[in-house]
């Protein structure tokens, strides 16, 4: 792109052979710098662009015309300075976001204490309030009921129904009385049989 300096020395503008003077520069959607011009006649209220990459852009849409007017700078240097400032602001914002993400301490989640049910905090020594009808039924069902044992009428006996003890006769020998002599003979006889079995074996 060929450029020419401004008359006041404040930067440069693209060199154009158009009859309409260069009003400023604009960053075209293709990425190239375009010179901004204003036509004469019926379209004098609009602006058109001359881009080295795309040629002449005479789009007259209201939104596009507003964008051209807002983005026109008096020189190439002014446009580049504005773009650099925008890039710097964006870069600073990105750096700040990264720093905040790295440096910002993690917030510990607030853990609320568990709320116990009113009847769950009762202790053994505390009486249970009977405000809850369901709880009252359960407590009543758990209470032990002690009833005295009822004996059958036939199980109750008196002194008269117990038979008298039978006294043994003084001269009678107990039926299972084993004499010591018999025990001795049985021991000797058992020893002899054991000895014979040992000799045979």
Domain ranges of the chain: 3-77
pTM of the predicted model as reported, rounded to 2 decimal places: 0.47
Task: Say what the pLDDT of residue 161 is.
Answer: 53
What is the pLDDT tens value at each position of the chain, 201 positions in all?
A: 888 999 888 899 999 988 999 999 999 999 999 999 999 988 888 999 999 999 999 998 999 999 999 999 999 999 999 999 999 998 888 888 877 777 765 666 666 666 655 555 555 555 555 555 555 555 455 555 555 556 555 555 444 555 565 565 665 555 555 567 777 788 888 888 887 887 776
In 81-108, which positions are buried (b, 16+ CB within 10 angstroms) versus exposed (e)?
A: eeeeeeeeeeeeeeeeeeeeeeeeeeee
């Amino acid at each position: 792109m060929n450029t020419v300096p401004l008359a006041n020395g404040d930067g440069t503008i693209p060199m154009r052979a158009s009859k309409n003077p260069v009003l400023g520069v604009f960053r075209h959607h293709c990425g190239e710098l375009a010179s901004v011009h204003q036509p004469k006649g019926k379209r004098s209220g609009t602006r058109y662009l001359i881009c080295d990459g795309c040629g002449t852009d005479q789009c007259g849409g209201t939104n596009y015309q507003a964008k051209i007017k807002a983005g026109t700078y008096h020189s190439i240097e002014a446009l580049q300075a504005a773009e650099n400032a925008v890039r710097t602001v964006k870069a600073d914002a990105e750096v700040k976001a990264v720093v905040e993400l790295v440096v910002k301490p993690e917030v510990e989640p607030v853990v609320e204490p568990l709320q116990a049910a009113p009847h769950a905090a009762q202790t053994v020594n505390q009486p249970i309030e009977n405000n809850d009808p369901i709880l009252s039924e359960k407590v009543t069902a758990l209470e032990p009921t002690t009833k005295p044992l009822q004996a059958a009428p036939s199980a109750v006996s008196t002194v008269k129904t117990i038979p008298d003890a039978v006294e043994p006769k003084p001269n009678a020998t107990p039926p299972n009385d084993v004499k010591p002599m018999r025990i001795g003979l049985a021991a000797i006889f058992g020893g002899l049989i054991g000895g014979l079995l040992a000799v045979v074996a």
